[in-house]
Amino acid sequence: MTPISVVDIDYVALAPVIIVLVAAVIGVLLEAFLPEAARRSGQLLLTGSAVALAFLTVLIVAASRPFGPIAGGSLMLDGPGLFLQGLILLTSGTAILIMADRRVDPGGDAFAGRVSTLPGGEEEREVSRRGLMQTEVWPLMLFCIGGLLLFVTSNDLLTLFIALEILSLPLYLLVGMARRRRLLSQEAALKYFLMGALASAILLFGSALAYAYAGTIEFAGIAERISERTTANTLVIAAVALILVGLLFKIGAVPFGQWVPDVYQGAPTPVTGFMAAAVKVAAVGALLRVLYVPFGGMRWEWEPVLWIVASLTMLIGSLVALAQSDIKRMLAYSSIANAGFILIGVAAADQVGLSSVLFYLLAYSVATLAAFGIVTMVRVPTGEATSLEQWAGIGRRSPLLATAFSLILLSFAGIPLTAGFIAKFGVFTAAITAGALPLVIVGIVASAIAAALYVRIIVRMYFTDPVSASAGVASPSPLTVAGVGLGVALTVILGVFPQPVLNLVEQTSIFVR
């Protein structure tokens, strides 16, 4: 028998993932052995330091390690991967700050005290009287972040799928754990799980077909097989289509993103922010790698599909958002529309497109997190004030919060001197140079529609008199202030001085094959 060669693993390059996942396992042990009173602080300390340490490690790896395959070719260390890992850790860290807040809700944090209790039952009242909190949230977050980090660096189809599952399963749970409106939250979790399982199956089926075609699951090998071909093979076309659908589901593109509004509405708001920011970043990152590396040679096949999906996503996202009366649903549709704008950059399919998408992801994710962070603060006695009607006159009660939210909305609308403008400008110019002018026209129309939407909310906050049911603004803890403040500050800074970050994304935007 031939001896099995031991895989050579660069542990330093792998360190960010290892740190996060080991911390997650330790988190489970903390749950098992720490006394109840000490759990929350212990978990917070562990989670916060793990994410911070992982972020530092990403910086160290970026500075010191040569680019190339790591972990026996399952993962790829390259510029976009590292940038996305850093971005995921940055946004996750911000999301964790907002999640850790237990001042805005008098009952505790955003999660149900005991998820297992019956909504509205006697047991639930008992739990909330004792002020219990579900601390399993934190290990779940860490597992999810670990999955995200793997997702953007995976270098073969199987790793991609496993990473998808690692990140998805904790998310399904997190979605169902809201403290308020628990039935809605549980319903959302079930929907997300069912839909996610379906999408995973489609992705896996596509991967199997790709293996059947190429005889390998490694991205480089698939790319090689595709470049050898003379005519397109039905098998590989079906593989591309199904993998594309699986990933577009996670991104929330039309028509694969119908779950987005329901799930974003039902999930605890900080988790919604985390999903809209970090998870979308990772999904777009994976889509970029899959389309550019293994299937880059089939650009002419997938590009038209992406054009249509992007147009539909932008238009329908913006239009339906106009008709929403719930702020979280509105932000959900807005995130769908933003996914469309991101796809414009993806469809450009070159280095400029890649760098523009990376910038867009940064601008979009920090603004989104801040937006959902602000939503957690605007409250009525029964919970968050999600109905837009209740937002009337917020501008007069809390000018600072309304100004911050207006800045974010203006950024979403792509008004100059905000990060959103530079980002939209970037993807549009990238698409034009790649010859996608019609797509850009659709994009500009969609952003004009979306601007009306955002202005409507600004009107509501500033120019409408408060009604009796209007919401108040809870005084947040420094954690939320830090998270939201970071998002707002980055939105402005990236709008006025984008150049350092533009340089960074330009340098990092080359996939190693």
What residues between 303 and 362 interact with another protein by CB under 8 A?
304-305, 308-309, 316, 319-320, 322-323, 352, 355-356
Does residue 386 contact residue 324 with C-beta atoms inside 8 Å?
A: no
Q: Given candidates 45, 59, 452, 467, which one binds another protein under the rule CB under 8 A?
A: 452
User: Which two structure tokens, joined as six digits, stand for 295?
Assistant: 């299937």
28 binds another protein (CB under 8 A): yes
| Minimum gap (Å) between residue 7 Cβ and another protein | 8
C-beta separation of 101 from 144 below 8 A:
no
Least separation in angstroms between CB 106 and another protein: 26
Contact 512, 67 (CB under 8 A): yes
Distance CA 91, CA 98 (A): 11
Please, which of residues 257-286 interact with another protein by CB under 8 A? 258-259, 262
Contact between 462 and another protein (CB under 8 A)? yes
Instruction: Classify strands 75-77 and 472-473 as parallel, antiparallel or unpaired.
Output: unpaired
User: Using CA atoms, how far apart are residues 339 and 333, in angstroms rounded to an integer?
Assistant: 10
Residue (59 or 323) nearer to another protein, CB: 323
230 binds another protein (CB under 8 A): no
CA distance linking residue 67 with residue 116, whole number of Å: 46
Name residue 154's beta-bridge partners.
Answer: 75
In whole angstroms, give the CA distance from residue 187 to residue 169: 16
* Smaller CB separation from another protein, 56 or 417: 417
d(CA 291, CA 295): 5
For position 388 contacting another protein by CB under 8 A, the verdict is: no
Shortest separation between residue 367's beta carbon and another protein, angstroms: 17
If one asks whether residue 467 binds another protein (CB under 8 A), the answer comes out as no
| Residue 395 to residue 287: CA distance in whole angstroms | 39
Kindly tell me the burial class for residue 297, based on how many C-beta atoms sit within 10 Å of its own C-beta (0-12, 13-18, 19 or more): middle
Nearer to another protein, 44 or 449 (CB): 449
Selected binder of another protein within 444, 482, 489, 504 (CB under 8 A): 444
* Residue 104 identity (one-letter amino acid): V
CB of 426 to another protein, least distance (A): 6
Reduced to 3 states (helix: H, G, I; strand: E, B; else coil), residue 163 is helix
Residue 255: strand, helix, or coil: coil
Q: Given the complex with another protein, which of 271 and 321 has the nearer CB atom?
A: 321
Residues 412-441 touching another protein, rule: CB under 8 A, are 415-417, 422, 425-426, 428-430, 432-433, 437, 440-441
Chain position carrying tokens 């860490």? 142
In whole angstroms, the minimum distance from the beta carbon of 45 to another protein comes to 19
Contact at 8 Å (CB) between 348 and 430?
yes
Is residue 140 a contact residue for another protein (CB under 8 A)? no
Q: How far is the CB of 319 from another protein (least distance, A)?
A: 5
Q: Is 200 in the site for another protein (CB under 8 A)?
A: no
Any idea what the Cα angle at residue 393 is, between residues 388 and 395, rounded to 5°? 105
- Under the binding rule (CB under 8 A), the answer on residue 451 touching another protein is yes
Q: Does 489 bind another protein (CB under 8 A)?
A: no
- Site residue total, another protein (CB under 8 A): 86
CB closer to another protein, 128 vs 258: 258
Scan residues 52-81 and list those touching another protein (CB under 8 A).
none
- Under the binding rule (CB under 8 A), the answer on residue 209 touching another protein is no
**Site for another protein (CB under 8 A): which residue of 141, 195, 284, 291?**
195
The answer to whether the beta carbons of residues 366 and 277 sit under 8 Å apart is yes
